[in-house]
């Protein structure tokens, strides 16, 4: 058995990200899933680029604000307490719209954890 409490505010934000991103996988000692906490101001996006994952399924749980998720077919609005799930191979770009009233805070969970399985997606190439 093992237990850990992680003070997420003590985890330094990742440098060179489009919004505040605190990677919690390693501090939490997680092996089977990846978890990040995001806080995006109006006009900021969560990922580095419009992308999809080859093997990882992602879930975005919105803590506060409203998350917009652009996909090739539509843009979803996910309110606070909402969950948005993305299957492998499904392109998406999550962001806080420029006209939002305030920041959006999101917990993102990906499983299995995977380094290097994100593939950039260009919607103009469709």
Within-domain flag for 1 = no
What percent of the chain has pLDDT above 90?
88
Residue 21 has pLDDT above 80, yes or no: yes
List the CATH number of the domain containing 89: 2.60.120.10
Q: How far apart are CA 125 and CA 52, in angstroms?
A: 14
Question: Residue 126 — pLDDT band, cuts 50, 70, 90?
Answer: low
Q: What is the mean pLDDT of residues 20-35?
A: 95
Domain ranges, residue 42:
8-125
Within-domain flag for 117 = yes
For 84-100, write each residue's pLDDT tens digit.
999 999 999 999 999 99
Within-domain flag for 108 = yes
For 41-97, write each residue's pLDDT tens digit.
999 999 989 999 999 999 999 999 999 999 999 999 999 999 999 999 999 999 999
Within-domain flag for 101 = yes
* pLDDT on residue 11: 97
Q: How many residues does the chain have?
A: 126
Within-domain flag for 22 = yes
**Domain total of the chain:** 1
Cα–Cα–Cα angle for 2, 34, 85, rounded to 5 degrees: 125
DSSP secondary structure letter of residue 26: H
Roughly how many angstroms between the first and final C-alpha of the chain, as a whole number? Answer: 49
Within-domain flag for 16 = yes
Q: For tokens 């985890």, what's the residue?
A: 11
Q: For tokens 């998350």, what's the residue?
A: 67
Within-domain flag for 39 = yes
Q: For tokens 């969560």, what's the residue?
A: 46
* pLDDT on residue 124: 86
CB 106 within 8 A of CB 38: yes
Considering the entire predicted model, what is its pTM? 0.93
């Amino acid at each position: 058995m093992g237990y850990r409490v992680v003070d997420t505010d003590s985890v330094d934000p990742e440098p060179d990200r489009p919004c505040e991103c605190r990677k919690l996988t390693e501090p939490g000692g997680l092996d089977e899933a990846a978890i990040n906490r995001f806080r995006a101001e109006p006009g900021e996006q969560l990922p580095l680029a419009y992308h999809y994952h080859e093997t990882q399924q992602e879930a975005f749980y919105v803590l506060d604000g409203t998350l917009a998720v652009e996909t090739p077919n539509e843009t979803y609005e996910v309110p606070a307490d909402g969950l948005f799930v993305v299957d492998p191979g499904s392109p998406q770009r999550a962001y806080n719209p420029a006209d939002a009233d305030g920041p959006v805070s999101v917990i993102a969970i990906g499983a299995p954890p995977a380094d290097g399985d994100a593939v950039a997606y260009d919607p103009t190439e469709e």
